[in-house]
Amino acid sequence: MSVSDMFAALQGALGLDQDIREEIRKEVQTLEQTAREILTLLQGVHQGPGFQHIPKKCQKAREHFGTVRTQMESLKTKFPADQYYRFHEHWRFVLQRLVFLAAFVVYLESETLVTREAVAEILGIEADRERGFHLDIEDYLSGVLTLASELARLAVNSVTAGDYSRPLRISAFINELDSGFRLLNLKNDSLRKRYDGLKYDVKKIEEVVYDLSIRGLNKEATVGAGGEK
């Protein structure tokens, strides 16, 4: 084979790879649009009247995740099944965003932490790496850390809305989450940096709880804690 033939073959391979990446980018753009729609919907809970409509907003978000599952099925067909990590960077960010949104919905519904397996089911992908397109552990953890920041914001807005028991529950949840992350030996620099930000979320929520205590509103919150979330 001549040098020209060798480089012509290489160019063909490069062109094929570029075509795959372009197809993936198109699918990721549709996922990003759906993620924005879910985020816009859920941001309504931060507004005063939003607390009264949490179940309805969660139900609507669940419907959007049906669209996500369809889009994920399409994305899976755009690259060889055994080359997940070769193209992972293209959908890594939107997948982490979707993990956060799924985790936020589950928290609003039950005030519990969604499992990686449950998130994978919500998104229509696999939890196990061996089964193909899956939810990477680090992507799951990144989404959970974004949830912590969102809950810190929710704690502040809960007080504004007159819901004094919610910050106490959020505080307990975030402290438990922080304890869980402390059990991990994180090697990933990006994930480690994001985890370092969790302490600021913990501090922010603690300040909200402390303010409630100083104003004597924590007693009211404790009394109302057994009521509707």
Looking at residue 83, its amino acid is Q
Is 228 among the annotated ligand-binding positions? no
Neighbours of 5 (CB within 10 A): 9
The DSSP bridge partners found for residue 134 are: 126
From the number of C-beta atoms within 10 Å of its C-beta (0-12, 13-18, 19+), residue 183 rates as exposed
- Residue (of 134, 142, 130) closest to 190 by Cα position: 142
What is the rounded CA–CA span in Å between residue 227 and residue 229? 6
From the number of C-beta atoms within 10 Å of its C-beta (0-12, 13-18, 19+), residue 136 rates as middle
What is the rounded CA–CA span in Å between residue 2 and residue 135? 44
Yes or no: say if 84 and 133 are a contact pair by the CB < 8 Å rule.
yes
Yes or no: say if 153 and 46 are a contact pair by the CB < 8 Å rule.
yes
From the CA atom positions of the chain, what is the Rg in Å?
A: 21
Indicate the annotated binding residues for Mg(2+).
150
Indicate the annotated binding residues.
150
